[in-house]
Structure 1
Amino acid sequence: MPNPLTTPQTATTTLRAGRVRFRARVSVTPVGLVAIGGLVAAILLSVPPIIRAAGDARRTAD
Structure 2
Amino acid sequence: MSDAQKTLPPQHPEEQMARVDLRIGQAVSLQATLRTTPAGLVSIGVLVSGILLSTAVLVWAAVTSSRTGRFFPRR
Whether these two folds match at TM > 0.5 is yes
TM-score, scaled relative to structure 1: 0.74
The one of 40, 51, 61 equivalent to 2:48 is 40
The one of 21, 25, 38 equivalent to 1:18 is 25
- The aligned residue for residue 70 of structure 2 is 60
Kindly name which structure, 1 or 2, has the bigger radius of gyration based on alpha carbons. 2
TM-score, scaled relative to structure 2: 0.63
SS in 2 for 1:27: strand
Unmatched 5+ stretches in structure 1: none
For CA contacts below 8 A with separation 6 or more, give which structure has more relative contact order. 1
For 1:6 and 1:50, how far apart are their aligned partners in 2?
41
**Greater fraction strand:** 1
For 1:14 and 1:46, how far apart are their aligned partners in 2?
35
The total of aligned residue pairs comes to 57
For 2:63 and 2:13, how far apart are their aligned partners in 1?
44
